[in-house]
Structure 1
Amino acid sequence: MSTEPALVEPERPAGPRRVALVSARYGAGAAAPPGVDAAALAQAALADSYEVLADLVGVRSGIVGPAPVADLLWPDGLYLSEGDVLSLAAQLSGQADELVVVPADVPDLPGLVLAKVLKVLHRSDVVVAPARGGAGCVALGLRLPVAGWLADQPLDLDLDPYERLRAAAPSRDQVARAPDWHRLRTPADLRRLDPGLEGWEQTRLLLSGSTTAAHGPR
């Protein structure tokens, strides 16, 4: 019988602990067309936006908002009651290495956009995915703990901070930009929804009888 020691497969280093949150404070209610209840649209878009995050592999997903939104969480989903981007980052410091926050008005956001955000976070302090056709972001990614130079920088998903952050960063490569996408903030934005894209089922169902239903990306 062989006396040679058995080969032991070396342990692979664990990847970064990633969290992605959808914030209910940025709801789609203002995009409701005539005949569609604003609260119902906000709820449907929130649910669909969360589903995008929950489908990400290797990422713990969650929702930020009032207590009832916790009913939408998948098993092991993370619930936080409220907080702006930097506050959420502070709450998760020590529990995660990377954080992505998205608004609740991006029901058809492609997972590829978020994958691009996560791809560059390992070499950047902050990643901005801007809103298409308007101010704001569809995603903000932060490496945790938050870099000191970011601590006094306001981060609001209704503003695009890319140029301001690039000017404030110790080096420009600490701020990265990811692909853009559209948000639902006015009834006109509904025409940007693409019926050919998979997902956004709840928003799609709610809008199915509306005269301003989606006609494809613009």
Structure 2
Amino acid sequence: MSTRDLASRLRDTAGRLPPGPVPLAALAEAHGGAWQASLLVLLAAPCLLPIPGVGSVLSVGLALLGILMCGAHCADMPPRLGRLSLPREGASRSLALLARFYDFIYRLTRPRMTSLAGPHARWWLGPMTLLMAVLIFLPIPFGNVLPAVALMLAGVALAARDGALMLASLGVGAGALAASAGLMALGWQAGATLLAWVGLA
């Protein structure tokens, strides 16, 4: 299923939601197997915003998603999670927003190197999502940006079956890890220098 087909499917579902709360299982079913891709995008995108606390909260959801991806039956939403529900208005808006997003990325992506963005991608995408969630959780100045971009690229790659984009996601994730390690090393060195200076003063 192309991202344009997915966008059409989500738009149709948004217009046919029944009254009352909508279970997450129904929303996952509307994605036709692409619900993990959408969750990656929805949870990672707000982490780009300079709003205190957003990354810390959403990183927990990303970590749980990463753990789920590492499981043997990661294609299925766990029943306990599926029974949770959203208000109909919120569910409809979310589906419509995702439909517009997938319409947009249809022009920028295409299926290629699909083995890198298919079901077997979970073997590296699960651990990567968990690691990026840890980096987002850490209080590193501007440390949310690269991990969030890496996860958004991964979500788009999954939805579009774009292996080249998945490689780009892995590259950005590696850069995020290196940048975070460098910043933590600099912070450690600065702290050690300050303590040494205070001791000599």
Q: TM-score, normalised by structure 1?
A: 0.27
Between Structure 1 and Structure 2, which shows a larger proportion of helix residues? Answer: 2
Between Structure 1 and Structure 2, which shows a larger proportion of strand residues? Answer: 1
Q: TM-score, normalised by structure 2?
A: 0.28
